């Protein structure tokens, strides 16, 4: 499930970019609850997206000024698998992005733009994609990049031994399944027209096909020279020796410390102006320290007032506060008899003070989520949506009408079954716990939180051995990424949710490439999910980026992070 990179992310981190927190003692948990209850949420001001320019570049640390040709960005722990489509660690995705380029990528608004492709055409029936490559493309080792490399990449991802996150099944390339099943030696729908043109025929319209088919291109000469059908282990020896077509190439990887890159002289748009790029491994404890000392030029910081004030005091930091292209929520196990009832799920939302949870967690740098997509998405709307304002009376009414009566012990019951709700999280500092415990007690629900290690939580989630579980989405490239696993037939439907109308709308939402038509479908889908909620939507958060003002051209966005900026950076003298 986790390999697909478009499903859930267990909330084991503070704001998804921070590294995993170790489980602390019960004493720490108690202290956290006491702190949480003391927060005066009524005084919290909601922060808007904003850019704060450096106020005093004279404060730039000498350590940073010494680097005339090197840009250093902080990141959490990479795993060392520098081959697209094959890594499990999401940070390796960040690490590979400077090395490899796709045919098509997304701009800052989430719309497709050409990278290695010069252009593309989609047939009238939306089934045939023809990509035209730019002239004289090369990989970092100097070998030419042609349509044969695109064909090889798409074929490799259909190999039966491939089980990574780059699943092309949704693109339904004609003959792709036959190749995967060993019934064909080639994929019928992939045709190399000439060295700069490839035509791909699909069997079903899918709105995400353009990005799936136009992904990162791997070198056939380098990654395919030892390829034999159904045997991909040979690639492991190349994980640490990448050859790509991005703006940089790997120079050295020092596990636990940094990844060093050098400008790729064969990059199609010319080598980057900044010769050297480094990803330095940082932790929540070292992020601010390294940035302040000039050891890093860029990093992301906890979305809270203290972070912004500290960065402003430095004087040399350009600060960007943006809404993240993700959201947090709690899974509801819809397979449990007492949670199949829509009224009970609605009561769990009405009776939960989500605004307080959001304010306590993000201190103004977050807002309550009411639809399963980020506000930065073109599909976002709250028109016709039930916002489930905190309403204890309404929650109690729904539970009463559903037959759950309060017993002498204060716990609701229906027959012999008491309404006891478990909640799983991998964060001991989860602000959901103290607030939900208090809110649900007022409703007559016994709330039983449990903090587990990441792997145990994941196992329980996959087995549907839970009632509620803390999750969040990764960065969303398409609105479908956030809701696809709610389909009753989806293999990763960890919520166990089933709604025929939702199934129909989910299928329709990706069955056209017309963005305006898709908007209409998503708006209808969000209304249905609001009425029949499969999860408890919690919040959208802000992300705080900061860079040393000596770096010009850095503009991190919600779809590609800093990778799209890398080719255009420069260092001010």
Chain-centre distance for alpha carbon 535: 18
Higher pLDDT, 513 or 175: 175
Q: CATH 3.40.1350.10: does it fit domain 327-542?
A: no
**pTM for the predicted model, two decimal places:** 0.86
Alpha helices (H) in 86-197, listed in sequence order: 90-96, 147-156, 176-180
The backbone torsions φ and ψ at residue 269, rounded to the nearest 5 degrees and listed phi first, read -100, 15
Pick the CATH number of 100-222 from 1.10.3720.10, 3.90.76.10, 3.30.70.560, 3.90.550.10: 3.90.76.10
Helix-strand-coil split of the chain, %, nearest 5: 30, 25, 50
Q: What is the pLDDT of residues 465-475, one digit of tens each?
A: 999 999 888 88
Q: Which CATH architecture has domain 50-76+247-316+549-571?
A: 3-Layer(aba) Sandwich (3.40)
Positive or negative torsion for Cα 479, 482, 488, 489: positive
Structure tokens at 177: 């399944």
Distance CA 499, CA 16 (A): 30
What value does the mean pLDDT take over residues 457-464?
90
One-character DSSP codes across 352-401: S-HHHHHHHHHTTSEEE--SSS-TTSTT---TT-------HHHHHHHHHH
User: Boundaries of CATH 3.40.190.10 in the chain?
Assistant: 50-76+247-316+549-571
**Contact of 357 with 435, CB cutoff 8 Å:** yes
pLDDT band of residue 42 (cuts 50, 70, 90) is low
Q: What is the pLDDT of residues 387-432, one digit of tens each?
A: 999 999 999 999 999 999 999 999 999 999 999 999 999 888 899 9
Distance CA 537, CA 168 (A): 29
Q: What is the pLDDT of residues 307-326, one digit of tens each?
A: 999 999 999 999 999 999 99
User: Boundaries of CATH 3.90.76.10 in the chain?
Assistant: 100-222
pLDDT at 113: 95
């Amino acid at each position: 499930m986790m390999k697909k990179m478009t499903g859930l992310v267990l909330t084991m981190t503070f704001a998804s970019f921070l590294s995993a927190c170790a489980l602390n003692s019960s004493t720490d948990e108690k202290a956290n609850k006491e702190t949480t209850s003391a927060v005066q949420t009524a005084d919290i001001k909601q922060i808007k997206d904003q850019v704060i320019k450096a106020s005093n570049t004279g404060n730039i640390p000498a350590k940073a000024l010494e680097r005339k040709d090197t840009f250093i960005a902080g990141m959490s722990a990479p795993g060392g698998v520098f081959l697209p489509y094959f890594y499990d660690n999401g940070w390796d995705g960040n690490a590979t992005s400077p090395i490899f380029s796709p045919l098509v990528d997304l701009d800052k608004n989430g719309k497709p733009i050409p990278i290695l492709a010069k252009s593309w055409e989609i047939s009238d029936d939306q089934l045939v994609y023809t990509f035209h490559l730019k002239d004289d493309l090369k990989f970092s080792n100097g070998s030419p990049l042609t349509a044969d490399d695109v064909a090889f990449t798409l074929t490799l991802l259909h190999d039966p031994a491939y089980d990574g996150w780059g699943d092309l099944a949704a693109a339904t390339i004609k003959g792709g399944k036959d190749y995967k099943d060993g019934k064909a030696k080639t994929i019928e729908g992939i045709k190399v027209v000439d060295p700069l043109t490839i035509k791909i025929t699909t069997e079903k319209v899918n709105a995400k096909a353009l990005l799936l088919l136009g992904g990162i291109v791997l070198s056939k000469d380098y990654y395919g020279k030892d390829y034999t059908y159904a045997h991909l282990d040979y690639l492991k020896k190349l994980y640490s020796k990448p050859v790509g077509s991005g703006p940089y190439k790997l120079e050295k990887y020092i596990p636990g410390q940094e990844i060093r890159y050098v400008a790729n002289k064969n990059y199609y748009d010319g080598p980057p102006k900044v010769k050297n790029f480094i990803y330095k491994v940082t932790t929540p404890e070292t992020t601010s320290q390294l940035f302040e000392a000039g050891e890093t030029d860029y990093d992301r910081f906890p979305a809270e007032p203290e972070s912004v004030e500290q960065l402003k005091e430095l004087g040399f930091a350009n600060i960007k506060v943006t809404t993240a292209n993700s959201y947090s929520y709690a899974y509801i196990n819809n397979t449990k008899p007492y949670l199949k009832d829509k009224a009970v799920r609605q009561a769990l939302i009405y009776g939960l003070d989500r605004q307080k949870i959001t304010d306590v967690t993000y201190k103004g740098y977050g807002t309550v989520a009411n639809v399963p997509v980020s506000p930065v998405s073109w599909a976002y709307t709250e028109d016709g949506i039930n916002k489930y304002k905190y309403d204890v009376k309404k929650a109690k009414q729904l539970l009463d009408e559903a037959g759950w009566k309060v017993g002498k012990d204060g716990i609701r019951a229906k027959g012999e079954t008491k309404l006891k709700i478990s909640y799983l999280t991998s964060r001991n500092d989860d602000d959901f716990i103290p607030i939900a415990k208090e809110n649900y007690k007022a409703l007559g629900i016994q709330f039983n939180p449990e903090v587990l290690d990441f792997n145990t939580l994941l196992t329980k989630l996959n087995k549907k051995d839970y009632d509620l579980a803390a999750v969040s989405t990764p960065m969303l490239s398409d609105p479908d990424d956030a809701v696809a696993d709610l389909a009753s037939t989806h293999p990763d439907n960890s919520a166990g949710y089933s709604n025929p109308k939702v199934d129909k709308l989910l299928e329709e939402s990706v069955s056209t490439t017309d963005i305006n038509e898709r908007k209409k479908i998503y708006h209808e889908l969000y209304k249905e999910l609001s009425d029949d909620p499969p999860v408890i939507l919690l919040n959208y958060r802000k992300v705080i980026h900061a860079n040393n003002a000596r770096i010009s051209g850095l503009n991190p966005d919600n779809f590609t992070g800093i990778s799209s900026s890398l080719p255009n950076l420069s260092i001010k003298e």
